[in-house]
């Protein structure tokens, strides 16, 4: 009798844990699903002019948006649309993992640590980290940041490279670039370290901010996907769009139109 009860208990635990049979996770959000859905959902920045921003009519615009539209065109030809979802540096990976978006095109650099958890397309732009200061600042480069308070945006590659390059720096993090700029202008920190692409846009808008000329890293921007087989076909289409538009000069034309300079 006891034996039977114990056996029954084991069986129930086994079934409740879902371990009775190795369960196969269905592969969702593949290129096939997206084509059937008729909509691809892409995470885009709104605070990274000229890569991702809102234009005066409140519409998503920028180099990343144009690339997203080219991808949508390639996926659907005519019948389908691209839906944009706003992301920030600090929430973009979370929005990808929570399946709010199918991919992110958000000034995102390919880094060894990100490669462990994400799949990436081929690069579509190479940026470099730079330093932005208030006008009149004595800071002339990275080496002047030792012992200083430096502002970064959470979730960016700047934090780790800054800690490695400037051991005695004290870091102040914000969620968005507008908060970071506000803090710099209020004197809460001595400089902002981030990609030249984003800092150029910010310094051009504000005469009190100066972007220093030196670049300190190589930041290959690529489209990011959830890691795994669900993304294989998607990555292939996106790579085709990137490689083809680099080959036929479309990417270079866009860079010129947006005034994105390569350093
Ligand atoms: N490209 C860098 C990164 O991926 C910084 C720019 C950004 O905020 O996206 O972290």
Q: CB under 6 Å to ligand 1: residues?
A: 89, 107-109, 153, 156-157, 194-195, 198, 219
DSSP 143-178: GGGTTSEEEEETTSTHHHHHHHH-TT-EEEEESSHH
Residue 215 C-alpha to ligand 1 middle, in angstroms?
A: 14
Hey, is 225 helix, strand or coil? strand
Give which of 149, 169, 145, 165 is closest to 157, Cα–Cα.
165
Give every CB contact of residue 3 below 8 A, 6+ residues apart in sequence. Answer: none
Question: Which of 153, 216, 224 to probe ligand 1 with, by most ligand atoms within 8 A of CB?
Answer: 153
How many whole angstroms separate alpha carbon 145 and alpha carbon 214?
A: 14
What is the predicted pLDDT for the residue at 204? 86
Residue 143 C-alpha to ligand 1 middle, in angstroms?
A: 21
Judge if 30-126+220-257 and 129-217 fold alike in CATH terms.
yes
Q: Please, are residues 47 and 106 in contact by the beta-carbon 8 Å criterion?
A: no
Residue 19 C-alpha to ligand 1 middle, in angstroms?
A: 41
What is the predicted pLDDT for the residue at 247? 97
Hey, is 115 helix, strand or coil? helix
What is the predicted pLDDT for the residue at 78? 79
Question: Which of 155, 181, 202 to probe ligand 1 with, by most ligand atoms within 8 A of CB?
Answer: 155
Atom of ligand 1 nearest to the CA of 108: 4
Hey, is 45 helix, strand or coil? strand
Residues of the chain where predicted confidence (pLDDT) is lower than 50: 11, 14-21, 263
Residue 88 C-alpha to ligand 1 middle, in angstroms?
A: 10
Query: Atom 10 in ligand 1: which residue has the minimum CA distance?
Result: 156
Q: Which CATH class is domain 30-126+220-257?
A: alpha beta
Residue 20 C-alpha to ligand 1 middle, in angstroms?
A: 44
Burial code (b: 16+ CB inside 10 Å, e: under 16) for 21-46 equals: eeeeeeeebbbeebbeeeebbbbbbb
How many whole angstroms separate alpha carbon 12 and alpha carbon 105?
A: 46
Helices 63-76, 250-257: axis angle to 10 degrees equals: 150
What is the predicted pLDDT for the residue at 12? 55
What is the predicted pLDDT for the residue at 149? 97
User: How remote is the C-alpha of 26 from its chain's centroid?
Assistant: 27
Question: Which of 88, 121, 161, 195 to probe ligand 1 with, by most ligand atoms within 8 A of CB?
Answer: 195
Q: Please, are residues 43 and 101 in contact by the beta-carbon 8 Å criterion?
A: yes
Neighbours of 116 (CB within 10 A): 8
Structure tokens at 19: 């371990």
Could you tell me the residue ranges of all domains in the chain? 30-126+220-257, 129-217
Which region holds residue 134: left if phi is over 0, alpha if psi is between -120 and 50, else beta?
beta
Residue 55 C-alpha to ligand 1 middle, in angstroms?
A: 21
What is the predicted pLDDT for the residue at 96? 97
What is the predicted pLDDT for the residue at 135? 96
Which fold is adopted by the domain 129-217? D-Maltodextrin-Binding Protein; domain 2 (3.40.190)
């Amino acid at each position: 009798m006891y034996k039977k009860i114990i056996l029954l208990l084991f069986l129930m635990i086994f079934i409740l844990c879902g371990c009775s049979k190795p369960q196969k996770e269905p592969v969702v959000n593949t290129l096939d699903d997206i084509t059937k859905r008729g909509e691809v959902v892409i995470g885009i920045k709104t605070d990274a002019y000229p890569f991702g921003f809102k234009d005066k009519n409140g519409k998503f615009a920028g180099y990343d948006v144009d690339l997203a539209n080219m991808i949508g065109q390639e996926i659907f030809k005519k019948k389908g649309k691209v839906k944009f979802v706003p992301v920030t540096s600090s929430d973009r990976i979370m929005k990808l993992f929570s399946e709010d978006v199918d991919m992110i095109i958000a000034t995102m650099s390919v880094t060894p640590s990100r490669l462990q958890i994400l799949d990436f397309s081929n690069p579509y732009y190479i940026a470099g980290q730079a330093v932005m200061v208030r006008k009149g600042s004595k800071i002339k480069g990275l080496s002047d940041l030792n012992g200083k308070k430096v502002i970064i945006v959470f979730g960016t590659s700047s934090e780790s490279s800054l800690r490695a390059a400037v051991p005695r720096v004290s870091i102040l993090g914000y969620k968005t670039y507008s908060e970071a700029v506000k803090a710099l202008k209020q004197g809460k920190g001595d400089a902002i370290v981030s990609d030249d692409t984003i800092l150029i846009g910010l310094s051009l808008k504000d005469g009190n901010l100066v972007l220093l000329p030196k670049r300190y890293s190589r930041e290959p921007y690529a489209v990011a996907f959830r890691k795994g087989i669900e993304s294989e076909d998607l990555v292939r289409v996106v790579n085709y769009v990137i490689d083809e538009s680099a080959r036929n000069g479309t990417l270079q034309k866009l860079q010129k139109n947006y005034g994105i300079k390569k350093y």
